[in-house]
Amino acid sequence: MIKKLIFLMLMVSMVPGCDSDDSNRRNPYLPDYNFAIDINLELPSYSQLNFPSNPIAIFQAGQGINGLIVMNNGAGFVAWEATCPNQPITDCSILQIDGLNAVCPCDDAAYSLFNGVGPKEYPLKQYRVEIISPMYIRVYN
């Protein structure tokens, strides 16, 4: 009886581990590169991040695949890969900021910079953001 009870408890504890999370599916079009960039919010090129809803693009070698799009969404900072998420990487697959959306010039698909969701199968690739101090954030993968 005790063996059955232990077996049942083990099985019940494993059930949450079997849950699928479609939002974390691996995107076959976008490779994973390790990088980190510290952003000084006092610098003029990044100062608009001090205010909500002012996305900026960062195109520096070694930062993401084609660059990053960073935004203060009012509740914190979000960072996205600046590459179209639903097609192979080409010359036209660098996202362009259009208001509060990122638009893929290859297919005109628009993705929200608040949550990364767009009209196609894969959302924008999100990167981690760490607040180092009131004037510094780190974006990394």
* Residues belonging to the chain: 141
Confidence label for 72 from pLDDT (cuts 50, 70 and 90): very high
| Model pTM score | 0.81
For residue 8, the tally of other CB atoms under 10 A from its CB is: 10
Q: How far is CA 13 from CA 3, 6, 19, in A?
A: 15, 11, 12
Longest dimension (CA), the chain: 69
Q: Where are the domains of the chain?
A: 21-140
pLDDT at 22 over 80: no
Confidence label for 3 from pLDDT (cuts 50, 70 and 90): low
pLDDT for position 68? 98
What topology is assigned to 21-140 in CATH?
Rieske Iron-sulfur Protein (2.102.10)
Rounded to 5 degrees, φ, ψ at 82 are -90, 30
pLDDT for position 25? 72
**Please, what is the average pLDDT of the chain?**
88
Residue pair 95/111 in contact by the 8 Å Cβ criterion: yes
Would you call 121 helix, strand, or coil by DSSP?
A: coil
pLDDT for position 24? 56
Confidence label for 16 from pLDDT (cuts 50, 70 and 90): very low
